Amino acid sequence: MSRVAYVNGRFVPHAMASVHIEDRGYQFADGVYEVIAIQDGKLVDEAGHIDRLDRSLRELRMARPMGRQAHGLVMRELIRRNRVRNGVIYMQVTRGVAPRNFLFPPAATSPSLVMTVRRTDLFPTARLRDGVRIVSMPDIRWKRRDIKSVGLLPQVLGKQRAAEAGAFEGWMLDESGFVTEGCSSNAWIVTRDGVLVTHEASHEILNGITRQSIIRIAREAGIPFEERAFRLEEAFEAREAFLTSASTYCIPIVRVDDRPIGNGHPGLLTAKLRQAYAAYAASGRTV
C-alpha cells in the first residue's frame, strides 16, 4: 500500500506531497516539529507532545494551524490511512508561505502544517540486548534548545560524525565540558550509588516528553533521582548509561568514546525503566 501524507488540509500520496518554494520552513527554518510514537495503534504521550508543540509555537510567536481536537482527529485518520500499528508520526508547522523577507509576514499569512507516518521498530532486539556505542562532540547549537525548531543542521552534522565513527548517537558537550544531551535524544547515567541523573530542563536542552515520563516513572518507583549536569568523567565512572527519545523509548549505552560504561553491558535499571515505559505506552494512559 502506498503511503499517505497530510499537507495543509489535504491527504495526498506521499510521493506527491510538497510545499511551496517560499515556505518559510524551507527558506529560514522558521518552524517547529514534533514526533510521536505509535504503539499498537495508540499515540504515546500525545498530550505532552501537543503541549510542547504549542509551547514551541508560542515561543516563536507562531499561530496554530488548527485546533487541538481537529489536530487529533487528523492524526488518527492519517495513521488509519497508512495502516500503521507501530511507528511514528512526524508533524511540522511553519510560519507559512510569503515572499522572502526576514521579518514576519503579514498576520493574514496562514501557517503550514504537514504530517507523515512511517513504521519503525520500537523494540530493536539487538540494540536492547547489546546496547549501543556513542561518541562525544562539542555542542554548537543555538541557545534556545528548549524550542523544538526545524533548524537541525548541528544535529545533522553530529549524527553524521557519530555514524562515520561507527556509533549510534552523539553526546554533545557544552563549553565547560558538561553533557547537555544527544543529537536527537536525552542523556542519562546511573551513578555507582544507584542515583538516576539527567540534565535539568532549561534552555540548554530539549525537555523530552519521554524524558518527563521516565522521570515520573522513576519517582513513582522510588528510584533516587537528580536533575543536574554531569561530565564525561562521571559517565565513565557510572554504573549505567542510556538515552531516551520518542522514537527509541529507552536504549542502553555500553560505550562512550570507546570506553566501557559499567561492565560494558546493558544495565538492570535501564531495562526496568524501559519495560515500565513500554507498559505505560501500551496502556494508553495519559497524564
The residues with which 225 forms a beta bridge, in sequence order, are 196
Where in the sequence of the chain do the CATH 3.20.10.10 domains occur?
125-283
Look at residues 225, 152, 213, 140 and name the one whose alpha carbon lies nearest to residue 184: 152
Quote the CA–CA distance of 149 and 167 in Å, as a whole number: 25
Q: How do residues 231-257 score in pLDDT, each as one tens digit?
A: 999 999 999 999 999 999 999 999 999
What are the CA-CA distances from residue 268 to residues 130, 137, 244 (Å)? 13, 27, 16
Write down the CATH number for the domain with range 125-283: 3.20.10.10
Where in the sequence of the chain do the CATH 3.30.470.10 domains occur?
4-119
Which residues of the chain register pLDDT less than 50? none
- What's the pTM value of the predicted model, to 2 decimals? 0.95
Contact criterion met (CB below 8 Å) for 246 and 199: no
- Residue 107 has a pLDDT of 83
Give the β-pairing of 132-138 and 112-119.
unpaired
- Residue 4 has a pLDDT of 98
Point out the residues that are catalytic: 148
Length of the chain: 287
Look at residues 165, 184, 160 and name the one whose alpha carbon lies nearest to residue 243: 184
Class of domain 4-119: alpha beta
Residue 237 burial class via C-beta count within 10 angstroms: exposed 0-12, middle 13-18, buried 19 and up: middle
Q: How do residues 121-165 score in pLDDT, each as one tens digit?
A: 999 999 999 999 999 999 999 999 999 999 999 999 999 999 999
Look at residues 19, 121, 117 and name the one whose alpha carbon lies nearest to residue 74: 117
Quote the CA–CA distance of 37 and 42 in Å, as a whole number: 8
Contact criterion met (CB below 8 Å) for 232 and 173: yes
What are the CA-CA distances from residue 265 to residues 131, 179, 241 (Å)? 7, 21, 10
